Structure 1
Amino acid sequence: MKHLTAVLVATVVALATLSARAELVIEITQGMDNPTAIAVVPFAWQGGGTAPEDVAQVIDNDLARSGQFDPVGRGDMLARPSTQQEVFYRDWRAINTEYVLIGRASVTGQVQMRIEYELFDVNRQARVLSGYEEGHVNEARMLAHRVADEVYETLTGIPGAFATRLLYVSVTRNPAGKDFYRLTLSDSDGARPIVLLESREPIMAPSWSPDGKHIAYVSFETSRPAIYRQELASGARVQLTNFRGLNGAPAWSPDGNSMAMVLSKDGNPDIYLMDLRTRELTQLTRHYAIDTEPTWMPDGRSILFTSDRGGRPQIYRYDLRTGATERLTYEGSYNARARVAQDGRNLVMVHQAGGQFHIALQDLVTNRLQILTSTDLDESPSIAPNGSMVLYGTKSGDRGILAAVSVDGGVKFRLPAREGDVREPAWSPYMSR
């Protein structure tokens, strides 16, 4: 423990110095060919002093990052309405705008913020969405993300995933050449980073509980890998494993009661299941090959994992009821680190093609495989809870960065850190309010 500083979640202010080191910057590299033109008008502030957050800008950035929208620049707006009576459709038709979002923000009481919003279809000259979000003033950005989610779903038919969080590992090197590892929590756009754990030893494989209230990860702070569980609200954590050999790849079951993991305590890396209430272990795979990287199917009935039992790493499915194992991937000599969308149909993975490692998607119904990325050395894919985007680790020059690609390959953006390398992303489930 002498090389470890466990930073518990208390206040963002107390962690500001550490957080700045892990901050991500968004760089949109590819969008749709015909994005929807939308104007997000600066929201009127109905309170004293200045607004704690430019919520309209947060919404604007969210929609732009999706690649499906082309927000109108504020300098191009002919008007800045904040009520329906102030919306004149001719002003927006003149600059070829399809939708207009207006709103008002205010503080109720001492610490509660209220954001009211209205979305208008310029061509139909009609209001198509209205609502409000309320919460603590310190959560103004998250309230804005929720508004963006509503707008996104109204216009695309797909639930938004802006009001979610990211986990990732950042690595910085001090002047003496020593690496420092930080497990970091941020908003989905990389804002408001909070360092949950800092160590001189590696931190790996962060994962979310299905309710978004706990995380699990692997830490080498005791000089060998061990799996830890941590509550986000309090920062309290507990060590789940301390076996000899490998303790890795924790994966929460969809009901949150069990965790799949990789242990080599009996000599060979196999997939085990831990009952989180009793800590009882059940060994699932028993093979002389290396079985690793478990992930759950959304229905909780089976687990996917990577194994080289066929000679090269491929993805297999283990049926929890029957114990039957079947191979799922055949195209290519290397497929690993499977993750499955909530619909249970799209499987994303690391796929080797032409000597390079890319992120690929396989349709589990048709078995059609599509390579999504053109970068190389891609790793650690994680799917947004709405199934629309895949976040992954990759390289830019000699630095590790995070990048994202839509499941059809049409939208791409990067999230490099301002300092150091970033890797091992994990996209949260939908967060409870």
Structure 2
Amino acid sequence: MWRNIASNALTLFIVGLVVLAGVIAWGRSQYSSAGPLETAICLQVPAGGNMRGVSSDLAEQGAITSDTIFRVGADYSDKSSLLKAGSFLVPEQSSMAEIVDIITRGGASTCGTEVVFRIGVNATQVDVRELDPATNRFRDVAEFVPGPEGEEGDAVPEEYTTVRNQNDTRYRVLVAEGTTVWRVVESLKLADFIEGDLVEMPAEGMLAPDSYEVVAGSDVGALISRMEDAQAARLEESWRNRVDDLPFETKEDALIMASIIEKETGVAEERRQVASVFENRLKQGMRLQTDPTVIYGVTNGEGVLGRGLRQSELQRETPYNTYVINGMPPTPIANPGLAAIEAALDPAQTDYIFFVADGTGGHAFATTLAEHNANVALWRKIEAEKAAAETAE
């Protein structure tokens, strides 16, 4: 009898092991197989959250088939303690294993609300936008022009105040090509998510135009240092790849030339042609005769001139009046982008020594004064027709 009992017990034990193995295999399959999510979602993990709360949220949103399997899988892979706070994009049909990886791997949030602080040549704007998980595109929530308390600026929208109090909001500072150092520094004083004061003003031209992701409470000095390091690296790399026979001998002169190119044209395809004009002029001992340098001498890079240049300003001898001085001004006149730096160090091979606006946003180039005068006459005709049309309206 005892032998039968032992045999039956052993049989039941084996059956139990087989069943357990099957359950484990099924659980592993459920954990690693494609999930039921039909449309991507933005999963918010609060600070101090845990896997139980996250799994419950995922189950409610239809992203997983079992919150228990999700938690067991996270525990089994030793990732439960690695949960990160933030907003994370969970793509459609993500497996539980993939979701666990997304919310534990670390790094910046991948969806949710983003504040973009745009520093332009003439103005600064704050955009509040939110990622739509279904399309993976941002949609605008609010925008406003910041201003110091008591001075000109838009009223701060409620949407911005709300997201400023959320710890998973991301921040990005976007610096446009052609800004001056003064514009960047003064604009950053209006960014209420950045702290600290600058000890000294950066050198003109040495802040790389780019998009910089920052964390709320970041130090402004650290951000400026990132911009300086990025510009120095770009200049160094471009200088190493420069062509021969340039009309200047130092990286600093190349940066000055790049800043002039940046201010003279916003058409990407023209940068190397514009560079060729100025560098041909330098090689021939001609003056650069470019308005942006004169304007910088008048404004010192602080704000926008807001009017045309006066004859007295064009005739006055200043270090930046390239109608009067020979060679280049003593410093850059703006922060040039990488494309302008590369154009300065690898100009197009042309005989051009003149250019003027052509009415399309670009320029007409010429090798002789006669050709240039014809282009100027055409441009003045376009200006006159445009003025007449505006008057008629």
Q: Which has the larger radius of gyration?
A: 2
Asked if TM exceeds 0.5, the reply is: no
Q: Which TM-score bucket, shorter chain as reference?
A: under 0.3
Give the alignment's TM-score, normalised by structure 2: 0.25
Give the alignment's TM-score, normalised by structure 1: 0.23
Q: More strand by proportion, 1 or 2?
A: 1
User: Highest relative contact order (Cα 8 Å, sep 6+), 1 or 2?
Assistant: 1
Q: More helix by proportion, 1 or 2?
A: 2
